[in-house]
Amino acid sequence: MVKVTVTDVANGIQAANQITFVTSGAKFTPQAPTRLLDTRDGTGTKAGKVAGRGTTRVQVAGNSGIPAGATAVVLNVTVTNTTDGGHVAVYPGKGSRPDTSNLNYTAGQSVPNLVIVPVGEDGSVELFNGGWSSVDLIADVTGYFTRTAASGYTSITPTRFVDTREGLGTAKGRLAGRGTFTTQIDGLKGVPKGITAVALNVTVTNPAEAGHLSVFPGGGQVPTASSLNFTAGQTVANSVIVPVGADGRISVFNGAWAGADVIVDVVGHYGKDSKGALRTIDPWRAIDTRDTEAWPGRLPARGYFTQWFAHEPEGVAAFVFNTTVTNTADSGFLSVEPSPLPWLENTDPKAPKPPRPVSSALNWTKGATVPNLIQTGVGEYGIINFWNQGWKDADLIIDVFGIYETN
């Protein structure tokens, strides 16, 4: 609401008018994970794999409680039953397919990745199989954005809430097969009371066998939807956006029949008092170290790259990236955090280096190509650092999918 007042001093007349306007951003409504698409059994589409270079369309608006006015949707997309390498791109229904990808896969892999995607004018989204062989695709919705009053977003420095290896946030020791733990989120470590949902980076490590994790509101029923999939011995991370229970807690279920360690980092939260409204954009590639003409080289081992994303950061709450690490020579993990230093100090080789982060945004093994959605604040200077925490160089790809704005 904007109120405009005009005063005519000479004649002693004053007139006022109020104008209601809607900003370009959208607010978030969370919901418990719900399966919208599964090509294996025909949920949301006809049963059967998506052909190589083929697409499948899933209706979002009007489905599973998502209203017709939804501008964007949060999906956990999983590719499985793969026989060759490829990628998956998710985009608005009947829209133009972007050059960017949301997840990458190789033969025999089941790969999940969180996706925030605009909804097409017909209320649908498209999933494109960029490989040359057929695959099964699964999509679970965890919330949607509308241009109406709902929950805004607040980004925080990634903060570790759970680590079963240390007994942080839950009992020490692997989460047992078919077991569940529940942990408090709101009211702790700077997260306020009364939030509606939380943005997480969830990592599984040391799993004894293949399985999946499901993250859901504390005290709720275990959903059929999965938040991430893993194989025996794998360390894998995935972004998760999930409602909190009425008591501000979340639960994590281990769908395997054997134990696994679980790590939960909070990267942001949604609530009525948060101001960040999402503006989706046509995806664009901000960093690709494979492009030797644009970049001086690969992301260096134990080093970092700096990129200036918001030259006027005051009105920006966070960016939405799809981040991919590829051409890896050894295991490692990536950390993404706003820079505590201004641009000139970041680019001055003589200036002190920023402190090395401890949280992980994605994990990789030798030879792997690993994607993950990352929502990160921009800090005081609008500059973001991407840290290679491994001991070998790797290639980094950053695609920008949206901006949370506060004005």
Using CA atoms of 153, 155, 158, 160 in order, give the dihedral in degrees to the nearest 10.
Answer: -40
- CA 106, 109, 114, 119 torsion-angle sign: positive
Of 348, 339, 340, 349, which Cα lies nearest the Cα of 306?
A: 339
Q: What local confidence, expressed as pLDDT, does residue 348 receive? A: 81
Question: Is 74 within 8 Å of 27 (Cβ atoms)?
Answer: no
DSSP class of residue 26? B
Q: What local confidence, expressed as pLDDT, does residue 11 receive? A: 55
- CA 170, 171, 176, 180 torsion-angle sign: negative
Q: In 3-state terms, what secondary structure has residue 97? A: coil
Q: What local confidence, expressed as pLDDT, does residue 2 receive? A: 40
- CA 315, 74, 112, 327 torsion-angle sign: negative
At 345, give phi and psi (nearest 5°).
Answer: -75, -35
Mean pLDDT of each 10-residue bin along the chain, 407 residues long: 50 54 78 96 97 98 95 97 97 95 94 97 97 98 95 96 98 98 98 98 97 96 94 96 97 98 98 97 96 94 96 95 97 96 84 90 95 97 97 98 93
Q: What local confidence, expressed as pLDDT, does residue 350 receive? A: 83
Of 29, 75, 398, which Cα lies nearest the Cα of 239?
A: 75
